[in-house]
């Protein structure tokens, strides 16, 4: 018999520069280039801390999973410079502490299972309701404009629905156009400015 609350739930995992306080003030995790339709099918998002950048007011150790949220909606980001990206909104959250939770994947959005983070029973988590709605005024006015956590290669967003590949840390095949899109994001240029040479 399955234990009440036992979870093999699949979840969206984000590798974010934003710390807990900022995420809660914004009402969710943003600003991501993701497949909104696909991500909305998941009930939970797990936030893993990325300290490679300093603008997000990080609160956890580098690569530590520190927050889990119950997803309510995937909506366009409300940040003025990131309206083409998405915010993963949630109504409830629980703090967690799971070190070494990022596998080095260059894409900061992944799809895994809660059990990958040692979460086997949701009843073991102390979920809290999110307090106030999102407001840009709640963020320190002196904080630099967030470039979006997906600055590396998130335009290449998990192009397969194969669960076996979703949890794999191995590089996935790319088309030339997908590779150009990712490199363009990385170096801040247009995809048509990127030339790729393949040597055999």
For residues 22 and 31, the answer to whether their CB atoms sit within 8 Å is no
For residues 87 and 36, the answer to whether their CB atoms sit within 8 Å is no
Per-residue tokens: 183? 């490199």
Q: How much is the pLDDT for 149? A: 61
Per-residue tokens: 95? 């703090």
How many Å from the N-terminal Cα to the C-terminal Cα in the chain? 54
137 or 95: which carries more pLDDT confidence? 95
* Of the candidates 186, 62, 47, the residue with the CA atom closest to the CA atom of residue 112: 47
Cβ-proximal residues to 93 (8 Å cutoff; 6+ apart), any chain: 24, 67, 68, 69, 70, 127, 128, 130
The pTM of the full predicted model, rounded to 2 decimals, is 0.65
**pLDDT tens across 33-85, in order?**
888 888 888 999 999 999 888 888 899 999 999 999 999 999 988 776 776 78
Mean pLDDT estimate for the chain: 76
In the predicted structure, residue 95 carries a pLDDT above the cut 50: yes
Question: Averaged over 130-143, what is the pLDDT?
Answer: 50
């Amino acid at each position: 018999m399955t234990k009440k609350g036992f979870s093999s739930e699949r979840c969206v995992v984000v590798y974010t520069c934003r710390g807990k306080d900022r995420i809660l003030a914004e009402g969710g995790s943003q600003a991501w280039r993701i497949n909104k339709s696909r991500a909305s099918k998941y009930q939970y998002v797990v936030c893993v801390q990325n300290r490679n950048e300093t603008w997000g007011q990080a609160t956890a150790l580098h690569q530590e999973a520190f927050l889990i949220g119950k997803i309510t909606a995937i909506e366009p980001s409300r940040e003025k410079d990131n309206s083409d990206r998405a915010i993963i909104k949630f109504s409830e959250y629980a703090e967690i502490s799971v070190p070494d939770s990022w596998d080095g994947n260059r894409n900061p959005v992944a799809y895994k299972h809660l059990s990958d983070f040692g979460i086997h029973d949701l009843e073991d988590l102390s979920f809290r309701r999110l307090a106030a709605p999102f407001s840009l005024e709640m963020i320190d006015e002196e904080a630099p404009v967030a470039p979006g956590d997906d600055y590396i290669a998130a335009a290449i967003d998990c192009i397969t629905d194969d669960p076996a590949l979703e949890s794999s840390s191995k590089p996935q095949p790319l088309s030339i156009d997908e590779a150009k899109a990712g490199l363009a994001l990385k170096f801040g240029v247009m995809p048509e400015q990127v030339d790729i040479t393949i040597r055999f």
